[in-house]
């Protein structure tokens, strides 16, 4: 690779095709806690955390009333939402559980702790928190040694504010 991306580059936002705009807003706002910043006509909405213009764009322009793509096809695997610490991840888990949304997986990756679920349109969602870099597991040569261990969700829930 001759020109790698600058290390300060970040993914800024995601736009998702949804079948029902109000249902999607309800999930991302009422369950995950993102703030609705703007509705753009009858077919789109923008949500954010912390007053940013938007982290999530939702639209029905090509997908009003549509069904999720079938398994085994290409597309978005999941959108990952990074929480600042374990307590905030626990709070997000508490809201998901209270809303009756099924948890599809949970893992301790050594570098992070992650919870996996789907939004109402079948889009994968990862809720996670990173561990401080000094806590990341390394092998005897100092190389990163990520893992895929079970995450104790009951223990995590006890840390919700």
What is the three-state SS of the chain?
Answer: CCCCCCCCCCCCCEEEECCCHHHHHHHHHHHCCCEEEEEECCCEEEEECCCCCCCEEEECCCCCCCCCCCCCCCCCCCEEEEECCHHHHHHHHHHHHHCCCCCCEEEECCCEEEEEEECCCCCEEEEEEECCHHHCCECCCCCECCCCEECCHHHHHCCCC
User: In this predicted structure, what is the pLDDT of residue 1?
Assistant: 59
- 10-residue block means of pLDDT along the chain (161 residues)? 84 94 98 96 96 94 94 90 97 97 98 98 96 96 96 97 92
Residue spans of the domains in the chain: they are: 10-64, 77-161
Domains 10-64 and 77-161 share a fold: yes
Assess if CATH 1.10.1040.10 describes domain 10-64.
no
Assess if CATH 3.40.50.1970 describes domain 77-161.
no
């Amino acid at each position: 690779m001759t020109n790698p991306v600058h290390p300060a580059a970040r993914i800024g936002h995601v736009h998702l095709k949804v079948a029902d705009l109000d249902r999607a807003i309800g999930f991302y706002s009422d369950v995950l806690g993102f703030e609705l910043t703007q509705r753009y006509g009858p077919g789109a909405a923008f949500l954010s955390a912390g007053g940013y213009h938007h982290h999530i764009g939702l639209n029905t322009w090509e997908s009003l009333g549509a069904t999720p793509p079938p398994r085994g096809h290409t597309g978005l695997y999941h959108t990952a939402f990074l929480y600042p610490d374990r307590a905030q991840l626990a709070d997000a888990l508490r809201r998901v559980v209270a809303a009756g949304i099924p948890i599809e997986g949970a893992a301790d990756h050594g570098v992070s702790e992650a919870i996996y679920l789907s939004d109402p349109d079948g889009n994968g969602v990862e809720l996670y928190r990173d561990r401080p870099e000094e806590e990341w597991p390394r092998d005897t040569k100092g190389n990163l040694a990520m893992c895929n261990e079970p995450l104790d969700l009951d223990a995590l829930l006890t840390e919700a504010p």
